[in-house]
Amino acid sequence: MIVRPIEGGLEVLAPAKLNLFLEILGKRPDGYHDLESLMVTVDLYDTLTLVDDPSGEVTLRCDDPSLPTGPDNLVIKAAQRLKESSGTTRGVAITLNKAIPAQAGLAGGSSDAASTLIGLDRLWDLQSSPETLDQIAASVGSDVAFFRQGPVAVCRGRGEIVEPWPIFEPLHFVLVCPPVGVSTAAVYRNVVLPETPRGVGEVLEALELGDLTKLGRSLFNRLQPVAERLEPSLGAVEAALAGLVGPLLNGSLMSGSGSAYFGLASDRDAAVEAARRLATLGLGRVRVVTCDP
């Protein structure tokens, strides 16, 4: 997450995330699922501008007319809950420019909410404790807390229990965002719980060793087959990426509940070549993204 001053306020870049591992452990009494996931941030960003509003109002404008800008938006929820928690009387005018597609498994809304918390804490000079910010983040949404502690972390519970994890070299990916989205709620409704959940240990070991071949073989997402059954057109994206595993990629996977897919490359040149080949197939938006230490 990048925060920089602008005239009258701050600009915050909110990164997308990829799930390199995602297992569903069980159903919770509150209706959510317990999960274990390895998540990384990448350099695909939404942009938020936060300008102090002495009237005390909290407002949001967005360049995507399909997104609500009222109290149901996670950005507004984050801002209001930070304001209530701190007792401040200050307000903010927020402008959100979207680059992260919705219903893609990239958690753009959660990242926007986390960026709002971090930016407003600085803009309003609240100096909130990390514990306070994490509590507010968890109350806003399952993935919000991760973005405060990225770029790499193991997330458990419903996503709010975050264990930062070190990496020592950049990770390079080719990212494909199909024109169709997938409903997260529908995917979770249709997932079948495993009798023996897979553990995240093999992925973490590969990451710690810097063994990209092993990391590519260890990529796993319990939700991917479910999303592909709900939206069969995604099979073409999966097949195209799978066809590049070996020549250019170490592995490929759907992120979260979809619909975006990524391929893990050994270096940036391989990711660029994979992107060039995929861009000719008409599968959706294709770009190279990186997770930096």
Asked whether residue 159 falls in the same domain as residue 232, the answer is no
The two tokens of residue 23 are: 């297992």
pLDDT at 232: 97
Beta strands in 223-293 (DSSP E): 249-254, 261-265, 285-291
Are 156 and 224 within one domain?
A: no
DSSP assignment of 215-226: HHHH-EETTHHH
Q: Hey, which residues does 211 pair with through a beta bridge?
A: none
In a shared domain, residues 45 and 108: yes
For the entire predicted model, the pTM comes to 0.95
Q: What is the pLDDT of residues 130-181, one digit of tens each?
A: 999 999 999 998 899 999 888 999 999 989 999 999 999 999 999 999 999 9
The domain tally of the chain equals 2
* Joined tokens for residue 73: 């938006």
Q: Are residues 208 and 241 in the same domain?
A: yes
Q: Write the DSSP symbol of residue 233.
A: G
Residue 288's pLDDT is what?
98
Mean pLDDT of 228-246: 97
Q: What are phi and psi of 5, to 5 degrees?
A: -75, 145
Q: Looking at 164, 179, 207, which one is the last position of a domain?
A: 164
The residues, any chain, with a CB within 8 Å of residue 145's CB and separated by 6 or more, are: 114, 134, 137, 138, 155, 159, 160, 162
First to last CA, the chain: 12
Are 208 and 239 in a shared domain?
Answer: yes
Provide the CATH number for the domain around residue 275: 3.30.70.890
Domain boundary among 130, 164, 198: 164
Residue 195: exposure state from Cβ atoms within 10 A (0-12, 13-18, ≥19):
exposed
Q: What average pLDDT does this structure show over 211-228?
A: 97
Whether 1 has a pLDDT exceeding 90, the answer reads: no
Determine the 3-state secondary structure of 34 from DSSP.
strand
Q: Supply the pLDDT for residue 31.
A: 82
185 with 116, same domain: the answer is: no
> What's the domain range around 224?
171-291
Q: Are residues 142 and 274 in the same domain?
A: no
Mark whether 93 and 209 lie in a shared domain. no
Residues 108/101, Cβ–Cβ less than 8 Å: yes
Could you tell me which of 39, 134, 22 has the C-alpha nearest to residue 81? 134
Which residue numbers are catalytic? 17, 143
Distance in angstroms (rounded) separating the CA atoms of residues 13 and 116: 10
Do 77 and 139 lie in a common domain?
A: yes
Residues 68 and 195 in one domain: no
Please check whether residue 153 is in contact with residue 163, taking contact to mean a CB–CB distance below 8 angstroms.
Answer: yes
pLDDT band for 237, please (50, 70, 90 cuts): very high
Residues 102 and 237 in one domain: no
Three-state DSSP class for residue 21 = strand
Question: Predicted confidence band at 33 (pLDDT cuts at 50, 70, 90)?
Answer: very high
CATH code of 22's domain:
3.30.230.10
Average pLDDT of the residues in 52-65? 95
pLDDT tens-place string over residues 72-130: 999 999 999 999 999 999 999 999 999 999 999 999 999 999 999 999 999 999 999 99
Domain boundary among 140, 164, 188: 164
Q: How far apart are CA 14 and CA 4, in angstroms?
A: 12
pLDDT for the residue 142: 86
CA angle 260, 209, 174 (to 5 degrees): 20
pLDDT mean over 250-255:
98
Separation CA 269–CA 271 (nearest Å): 5
Decide if pLDDT at 32 tops 90: no
What confidence score (pLDDT) does residue 10 get?
97
Judge if 185 and 81 occupy the same domain.
no
DSSP β-bridge partners for residue 61: 95
